Chains A and B, each alone.
Chain A
Amino acid sequence: MFPSKSSNDDRDLVGRARRGDREAFTQLIVQYQVPLYNMALRMVGKPDDAADITQEAFLRAWEKIRTLREAPFKSWLFQIAANLCYDHFRRGRRFGVMPDEDQTSLQASNVVGLGIATPDPQERTEANARTRLVRDSIQALDHDMRIAIVLRDVNGMAYEEIAAVLRVPLGTVKSRIARARAQVQERLQQHPDFFPTREDAHAE
């Protein structure tokens, strides 16, 4: 498959988790929760739904990890989450929600910083508007294109890894990513204030 540092690091933890070691699996959760959650978030949009999908993906992975043979844990885990995203679209359901998932006890919440810190309020507003625009442009894509661009440009996966997650040929990955980018670009360019079309730009 595709050799990567993380898959080697995972091997020991996965081996232990397969033998029922919860601590090892918990370490895998810690390692993958943010990328997996962000994949789900960019796919389904709502933080609560994304967290439900992430939780359900970890549960299913834990239950099924003994069946994991050769495939790298990472692409297998993302495959589970991707399937849950598709289920979510098909049935409009939420996963793994405890009915007492009340916000009252978590109202102060624990959202820990969201990346770009821009001290100037004007700049921050613009950064937020820009972020919203990009996010909405991704949301407007059809599911197949959306997941391809998310795995590539949000999760930074190589084409071969994406092909493994989505179980589609490499050529399909390539074309979905390209078409997704073209459609996002088209939407962004409708807002020249944020995304000026550079007629004067030069190639490297």
Chain B
Amino acid sequence: MPSEPRIPTEPTLEELSAYLDHELDAGAQARVAEHVAGCAECTRRLNGLRETVSAVRALPMETPNRTFTIPSERRQSFRWAPVGWLGGAAAALLIIVVGVNQLHGPGSALGTALTSRGANAPAAGLSRPEVAPLNGSNQYAAADAQKFSSNSTTVVDPRNSSRSLTVGTDARSYSATGVIALHVTTNGLSAAEASSVRLFVTRDSGYSVRLAPPSKESTFPFNYDAAYSVPQMQLQAPVEGNYTLRVEIDLSDHSTLVARLPLTITP
């Protein structure tokens, strides 16, 4: 660091500032101290700077009010990209659409739609019925267990990294007549926390369909497999488009773990 010997001369603003940070070399540090000790004006300047530094350092460290996540696989990451990335995002979408996975659920299985009672449901979803999982869908899902790694996300409690929520689906893209099989697990959460789980399929234009939560007899540690029929969701036409599967769990400290997975529905 260039700090030429300017012994008794007045230290510059830079020198005073770096002096406070102990970022001058030892010689310069001593020279500034020596000068300041005998100079009322520089003492005043240094104290003013020092108070400013304390004021800035006293700013509270704030806690973000959401969790940060990474997609399950690097190159397939899907998100609302900055404008400069649209080309790449469009290409990714194309691959997703081309690679349509035609899925059909068990033909006879029709679940009962329950009424939403969720005070926590997004406003747009309040008047819509919940979509029940298909009967026997846990077996359906279990048979495809290995597929869940293809589209999954994990969110971690920012205050305790051993607590997490993982959501996976068996594909990223579904046909409008398909079945979405999903797998939800939690780590380190209490039964009460895990049972607050809420599931939504949200259109990128804003409206949500709520999926009926797992039945009471779900096993703990929380481990939920279910399949939902896309037609039963009665999505608004045109059905094809980009959606997000959103899974929320209320934690005992009144914060919420939110996991999101992109889904595409094709005609």
CB distance from B123 to the nearest CB of A (A): 6
Q: Is the CB of A55 within 8 A of B68?
A: yes
- Can you name the residue of chain B whose Cβ is closest to the Cβ of A184? B52
Contact (Cβ within 8 A) B154 A26: yes
B63 touches A105 (CB 8 A): no
Q: A105 near B62 (CB under 8 angstroms)?
A: no
Does B142 make an interface contact (CB < 8 A)? no
Over the window 197-231 of chain B, the binary record of Cβ atoms lying under 8 Å from chain A Cβ atoms (1 yes, 0 no) is: 01010111110100000000000000000000000
* Contact between B56 and A149, CB atoms less than 8 A apart: yes
**B82 CB contacts on chain A under 8 angstroms:** 56, 87, 93, 95
* Distance in angstroms between the alpha carbons of A183 and B42 in the assembled complex: 17
Report the minimal beta-carbon distance from B246 to chain A, rounded to whole angstroms: 7
Q: Is B172 an interface residue (CB 8 A)?
A: no
A50 CA / B77 CA spacing, docked (Å): 21
Q: Specify which chain B residues have a CB less than 8 angstroms from the CB of A104 in the assembled complex.
A: 122-123
In the assembled complex, the Cα of A37 lies from the Cα of B129 at a distance in Å of 38
Q: Hey, what's the 0/1 contact readout for A149-177 against B, CB within 8 Å counting as 1?
A: 10011100011000000000011001101
Using known A-B contacts A47-B62, A134-B55, A171-B2, determine if residue A178 contacts B13 with beta carbons closer than 8 Å.
yes
B60 touches A116 (CB 8 A): yes
| Chain B nearest CB, measured from A4 CB (Å) | 15
B44 at the interface (CB under 8 A from A): yes
Q: How many residues of chain B are within 8 Å of chain A by beta carbon?
A: 74
Whether B68 pairs with A108 at a CB distance below 8 angstroms is no
B47 at the interface (CB under 8 A from A): yes
B134 on interface, CB distance cutoff 8 Å? no
Taking CB as reference atom, which chain B residue is nearest A104? Answer: B122
B244 within 8 A of A: yes
Shortest CB-to-CB span from B126 to chain A, Å, is 10
B1 at the interface (CB under 8 A from A): yes
Report chain B residues within 8 Å CB of A34: 61, 63-64, 158
Contacts of B56 in A (CB 8 A): 134, 138, 149, 153-154, 181, 184
A111 near B60 with CB under 8 A, answer no
Known A-B contacts A99-B206, A158-B23; A199 and B18 likewise in contact (beta carbons under 8 Å):
no
Complex interface bits, A26-60 against B, C-beta within 8 A gives 1, otherwise 0: 11011001110110011000010011001110110
Q: Are A203 and B63 in contact (CB under 8 A)?
A: no
A16 neighbours in B (Cβ, 8 Å): none
In the bound complex, how far is the Cα of B248 from the Cα of A63, in angstroms?
26
Tell me, yes or no, whether B21 is within 8 Å of chain A by CB: yes
| Bound complex: CA A22 to CA B168 (Å) | 15
Whether A174 contacts B65 in the complex (CB less than 8 A), given A134-B58, A182-B13, A201-B43, comes out as no
Q: Given the interface contacts A51-B64, A170-B1, A201-B43, does A99 sit within 8 Å of B53 by beta carbon?
A: no
Chain A residues with a Cβ under 8 A of chain B: 20, 22, 25-27, 29-30, 33-35, 37-38, 41-42, 47, 50-51, 54-56, 58-59, 62-63, 87, 91, 93, 95-100, 102, 104-106, 108-116, 130-131, 134-135, 138, 149, 152-154, 158-159, 170-171, 174-175, 177-179, 181-182, 184-185, 188-189, 195, 197-199, 201-203
Q: A109-B255, A110-B251, A114-B62 are in contact. List 13 more A-B contacts (CB 8 A).
A: A26-B161, A63-B75, A98-B204, A99-B80, A115-B62, A116-B58, A116-B60, A130-B55, A153-B56, A181-B49, A185-B48, A197-B48, A198-B51
